[in-house]
């Protein structure tokens, strides 16, 4: 194979034409390899992708830290009543109207306040049926009726460690109920 002088690579037979000739490397005698220039578009696309990948998590972490420091995420806010009464281990009683449900839990605890109106007739029996883990108590507040959770019950408990119900009679037909369910 090396018998034919044209098969052997030499600076003379591998050099580019004279008008585009590059200077030969001083040690090898061969011209340097031709590397196409990098596209400016490709460079900016790469920089943009790297910037987004690095900055997006930093912005997200910054927003989370800001909301924790200001306490913004722990402020009471409206929530679904189904979620709140389920947390208390019960269900919304039949005939309940004017429902207002608030998630007022904090960083380390969970809590809900539910306010609604219902017919005054048989209100105690309806609340015991809707919230089976509670029992009626008396003398702890100015409410007309009070219920609290029974720690010794084996009934469905929900997630709340404490459940309190206060009933205030508004008139002869209507009772206002305030449910407070929370854990510690």
pLDDT reported for residue 82: 92
Task: State phi, psi for 143 to the nearest 5 degrees.
Answer: -70, 155
Q: Which of 26, 53, 73 is the last residue of a domain?
A: 73
Are 110 and 140 contained in the same domain?
yes
pLDDT reported for residue 101: 95
Are 64 and 81 contained in the same domain?
no
Give me the DSSP letters along the chain: -TTSTTTS--HHHHSPPGGGPPPPPTTT-SPPPP-PPPPHHHHHHHHHHHHHHHHHHHHHHHHHHHHHHHTGGGS-EE--HHHHHHHTTS-PPTT-EEEEEEE---SS--EEEEEEEEESTTHHHHHHHHSTTEEEE-SSSSSSEEEEE-TT--S---S-SEEEEEEEE-SSSEEEEEEEEE--
| Number of domains forming the structure of the chain | 3
Number of other CB atoms surrounding residue 119 within 10 Å: 15
Q: Which of 73, 96, 120 is the last residue of a domain?
A: 73
pLDDT reported for residue 24: 79
Are 125 and 177 contained in the same domain?
yes
Expressed as residue numbers, the domain containing 170 is 77-182
Are 54 and 1 contained in the same domain?
no
pLDDT reported for residue 112: 94
pLDDT reported for residue 76: 86
Are 100 and 137 contained in the same domain?
yes
Are 171 and 123 contained in the same domain?
yes
Q: For residues 180 and 111, is the Cβ–Cβ distance under 8 A?
A: yes
Are 171 and 139 contained in the same domain?
yes
Which structure tokens are listed for 11? 């600076």
Q: Which of 25, 57, 73 is the last residue of a domain?
A: 73
Are 156 and 129 contained in the same domain?
yes
Are 172 and 123 contained in the same domain?
yes
pLDDT reported for residue 91: 92
What does each of the 184 residues of the chain score in pLDDT, given as a tens digit? 555 555 565 555 555 555 566 677 788 888 777 777 667 788 888 889 999 999 999 999 998 888 878 777 778 889 999 999 999 989 999 899 999 999 988 777 889 999 999 999 999 999 999 998 888 887 666 678 888 886 655 555 678 888 899 999 999 899 999 999 988 7
Are 57 and 109 contained in the same domain?
no
């Amino acid at each position: 194979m090396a018998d034919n002088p044209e098969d052997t690579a030499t600076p003379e037979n591998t050099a580019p034409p004279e008008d585009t000739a590059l200077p030969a490397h001083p040690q090898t005698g061969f011209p340097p390899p031709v590397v196409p220039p990098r596209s400016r578009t490709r460079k900016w696309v790469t920089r943009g992708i790297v910037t987004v990948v690095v900055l997006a998590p930093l912005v997200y972490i910054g927003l989370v830290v800001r909301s924790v420091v200001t306490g913004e995420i722990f402020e009471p806010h409206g929530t679904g009543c189904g979620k709140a009464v389920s947390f208390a281990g019960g269900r919304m009683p039949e005939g309940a109207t004017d429902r207002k449900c608030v998630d007022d839990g904090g960083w380390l605890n969970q809590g809900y306040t539910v306010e609604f109106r219902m017919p005054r007739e048989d209100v105690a029996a309806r609340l015991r049926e809707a919230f089976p883990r509670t029992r009626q108590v008396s003398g702890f507040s100015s409410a007309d009726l009070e219920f609290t959770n029974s720690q010794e019950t084996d009934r469905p408990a929900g997630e709340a460690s404490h459940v309190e119900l206060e009933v205030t009679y508004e008139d002869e037909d209507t009772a206002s109920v305030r449910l407070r369910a929370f854990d510690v």
